[in-house]
């Protein structure tokens, strides 16, 4: 019998009030039922928000260093259980073990980094313009935060959002993706074991259209942090805008890697292979466009096709496998549709382009590593986010053209350039329209102590990770202390 999972509300594991459930199956093997999860509704969302609101005054009163100590214990527990979590995550969402271990490691790194910030939630002091007066600014928590997270990084992204939110004194309602609910449940178990008080963190499973929408619209939710598609992000932003509710959006990408004629070509091919086919291309930072100088395009393309053809596809629990499945059938259907679009647009399919259903892969959502060349920047496969193992090669004739092509996108998350010319590297840093730029590295591989996010349709300007994340989860308060013993009028008493 399949394991029955529950929501976590007010410190208790509870079923959805409807008692309805949904299935969670292994994308590498549809016969493998991981468990049944609560199909929650607005009623469950309301209970979770009520619990978070009730516990907010007490949690905000806990000194930030103490909150940091609890999060440090969370990091230690994540490290203790890392291998078990990684294996369960591979079974749940498909990516290979080395990647799910990395996913858990991001949670560990975030916990330890955020824990230290418990003694560094710095405000500022400033000279006052009047005598016998003191001026400063301090951070204060916002309140109840709803975190809506995707399936491709089911441990890393929830921790990126949750740990800073908690450190700042907020309470949380987590709504994980329907495709990876088990990893979210495991995270809540660890938070509970580490000593996070009941009601401070709440977990509600269910469909985004139902429970997610209810949380976004809930009047007692002060902040929504969402990672997902630009289309859904726009809807969330509209709702939050109508209610003057803070919203942080981390959305899509159509990331480009430039390879100039002076690049280390072997290194560039390694980077493109990892960037395009790591996580089966299911990263918002995945390399989906390879922008190659025509002088080296033939050599780079031949090497990439050869290497892509050697990638081993299969169950990510097999340590010899390079690439696991797509997350579900709709994802595979979407990628197949873009293969058709690419051919119709006149791009040349060099390798892949179809499902991989042989042998042990017959019951999973596997897809072949796919490469197109003769791609023009205006083509849909070069403009739209595919979210699968599909790489489009665009040839260019100069550095200036490469920058124009890379910037010819409504997204602006990650970017990369391979060159030995330091001048080109610095001009790329200046001119590329993206929140992240790698020099001689692939478009994937962010580190938790630097800001993460992008420009244009990639988000609404906020940055997760690093120190910038605290500007999402805190309000600034300016404080003036007048000890002169008399009324002083700023901009009046001190005027010439």
Binned at pLDDT 50, 70 and 90, residue 18 comes out as very high
Model confidence pLDDT, tens digit, residues 242-257: 999 999 999 999 999 9
The vertex-319 CA angle with 314 and 321, nearest 5°, equals 30
Q: Average the pLDDT over 184-204 and give the result.
A: 98
Region for residue 347 given its phi and psi (left: phi exceeds 0; alpha: psi -120 to 50; beta: otherwise): beta
CATH fold for domain 7-251+459-478 = Aldehyde Dehydrogenase; Chain A, domain 1 (3.40.605)
- Is the pLDDT confidence value at 284 over 90? yes
- Is the pLDDT confidence value at 406 over 90? yes
Model confidence pLDDT, tens digit, residues 294-343: 999 999 999 999 999 999 999 999 999 999 999 999 999 999 999 999 99
- Is the pLDDT confidence value at 1 over 90? no
Say which of 117, 250, 395, 464 is annotated catalytic.
250
How high is the mean pLDDT of the chain? 97
Please measure the distance between the N-terminal and C-terminal CA atoms of the chain and give it in whole angstroms.
82
Q: What's the pLDDT at 162?
A: 98
Binned at pLDDT 50, 70 and 90, residue 84 comes out as very high
Tokens of 225: 């942090």
- What share of the chain has pLDDT > 90, as a percent? 97
- Is the pLDDT confidence value at 415 over 90? yes
- Is the pLDDT confidence value at 399 over 80? yes
Binned at pLDDT 50, 70 and 90, residue 494 comes out as confident
Q: Strand order in 348-351's β-sheet?
A: 348-351, 370-373, 390-396, 287-293, 255-259, 414-418, 436-439
- What global pTM score does this model have? 0.96
Q: What's the pLDDT at 2?
A: 82
Binned at pLDDT 50, 70 and 90, residue 372 comes out as very high
Q: What's the pLDDT at 495?
A: 73
Q: For tokens 């997350």, what's the residue? A: 327
Q: What's the pLDDT at 493?
A: 84
- Domain segments of the chain: what residues? 7-251+459-478, 255-439
Q: What's the pLDDT at 228?
A: 96
Right CATH for 255-439 from 1.10.1200.10, 3.30.465.10, 3.40.309.10, 3.30.365.10: 3.40.309.10
Binned at pLDDT 50, 70 and 90, residue 117 comes out as very high
- Is the pLDDT confidence value at 418 over 80? yes
Q: For residue 13, list its beta bridge partners.
A: 8
Say which of 178, 284, 395, 464 is annotated catalytic.
284
Under 8 Å between Cβ of 332 and 355: yes
Element holding 225 (H helix, E strand): strand 223-227
- Is the pLDDT confidence value at 203 over 90? yes
Binned at pLDDT 50, 70 and 90, residue 459 comes out as very high
Element holding 255 (H helix, E strand): strand 255-259
- Is the pLDDT confidence value at 51 over 80? yes
Q: From 112, 156, 152, select the one nearest 253 (Cα to Cα).
A: 152
Active site residue 284: yes
Binned at pLDDT 50, 70 and 90, residue 35 comes out as very high
- Is the pLDDT confidence value at 496 over 80? no
């Amino acid at each position: 019998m399949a394991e029955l999972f529950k929501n976590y509300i007010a410190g208790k594991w509870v079923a959805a009030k409807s008692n309805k459930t949904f299935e969670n199956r292994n994308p590498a093997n549809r016969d493998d039922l991981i468990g049944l999860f609560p199909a929650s509704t607005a009623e469950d969302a309301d209970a979770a928000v009520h619990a978070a609101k009730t516990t907010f005054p007490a949690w905000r009163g806990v000194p930030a260093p103490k909150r940091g100590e609890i999060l440090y214990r969370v990091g230690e527990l994540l490290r203790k259980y890392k291998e078990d979590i990684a294996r369960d995550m591979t079974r749940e969402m498909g990516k290979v073990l080395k990647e799910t271990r990395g996913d858990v490691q991001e949670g560990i790194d975030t916990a330890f980094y955020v824990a230290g910030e418990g003694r560094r939630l710095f405000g500022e002091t400033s000279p006052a313009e009047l005598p016998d007066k003191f001026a400063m600014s301090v951070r204060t928590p916002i309140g109840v935060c709803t975190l809506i997270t995707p399936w491709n990084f089911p441990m890393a992204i929830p921790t990126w959002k949750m740990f800073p939110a908690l450190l700042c004194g907020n309470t949380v309602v987590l709504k994980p993706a329907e495709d990876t609910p088990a990893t979210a449940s495991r995270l809540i178990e660890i938070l509970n074991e580490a000593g996070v008080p009941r009601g401070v963190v709440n977990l509600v499973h269910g469909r985004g259209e139902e429970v997610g929408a209810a949380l976004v619209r809930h009047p007692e939710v002060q902040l929504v942090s969402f990672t997902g598609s630009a289309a859904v992000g726009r809807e969330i932003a509209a709702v939050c805008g109508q209610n003057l509710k803070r919203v942080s959006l981390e959305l899509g990408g159509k990331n480009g890697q430039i390879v100039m004629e002076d690049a280390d070509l072997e290194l560039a091919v390694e980077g493109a292979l990892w960037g395009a086919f790591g996580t089966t291309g299911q990263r918002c930072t995945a390399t989906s466009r390879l922008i190659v100088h025509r002088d080296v395009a033939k050599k780079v393309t031949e090497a990439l096709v050869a290497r892509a053809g050697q990638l081993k596809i299969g169950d990510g629990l097999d340590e010899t496998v390079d690439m696991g499945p797509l997350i579900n059938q709709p994802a595979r259907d979407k990628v197949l549709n873009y293969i058709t679009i690419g051919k119709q647009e006149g791009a040349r399919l060099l390798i892949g382009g179809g499902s991989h259903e042989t042998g042990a892969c017959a019951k999973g959502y596997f897809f072949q590593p796919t490469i197109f060349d003769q791609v023009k920047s205006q083509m849909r496969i070069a403009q739209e986010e595919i979210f699968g193992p599909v790489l489009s090669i665009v040839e260019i004739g100069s550095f200036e053209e490469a920058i124009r092509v890379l910037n010819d996108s409504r997204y602006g998350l990650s970017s990369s350039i391979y060159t030995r010319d330091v001048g080109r590297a610095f001009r790329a840093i200046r001119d590329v329209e993206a929140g992240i730029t790698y020099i001689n590295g692939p478009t994937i591989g962010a580190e938790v102590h630097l800001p993460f996010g992008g420009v244009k349709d990639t988000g609404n300007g906020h940055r997760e990770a690093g120190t910038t994340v605290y500007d999402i989860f805190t309000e600034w308060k300016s404080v003036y202390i007048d000890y002169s013993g008399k009324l002083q009028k700023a901009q009046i008493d001190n005027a010439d």
